[in-house]
Structure 1
Amino acid sequence: QFEQHIRAVAGLPLGDGSRHADAEMENLIGDDIDRLPDLLRDPRASIHLYGKAEARPGRKMGHVNRVTGAAG
């Protein structure tokens, strides 16, 4: 997306914008962080933790991105 934006602003031809795979993002809120051991076993998961020391209700502790398959 960023490269496409730069190309558009610079008046350059745009690159191929076709989607190659579907993806999803899941927020890890509060005690969801306790699911980390299970999440680490998912080979599709890319886990991003925000380094917060204490989980509280409603506090965003991180997120998980997953590639879920070929674009349909």
Structure 2
Amino acid sequence: MIRPEGGPDCLVQRQILSIEQAEEVARVALRIEALLGGGQDIEWAIANGQVWVLQARPITAVPTTCTTERRR
């Protein structure tokens, strides 16, 4: 979950996933999107190095504008 306030300072600068784990999550997400025919809201976990999909459901609402704000 992403929160606007960014979370506790002890976690903000900490890398949670390795590059390889992030790439695998992205691969799984793209496969799910292709199989189900569109963007999905995906809940996932990693246990013992394996990516597990807990739930996937269609994205039903997309914001009309997108803004990016950097945390200082």
> Structure 2 length as normaliser, TM-score?
0.23
Q: Which has the higher strand share?
A: 1
Looking at CA atoms only, which structure, 1 or 2, has the larger radius of gyration? 1
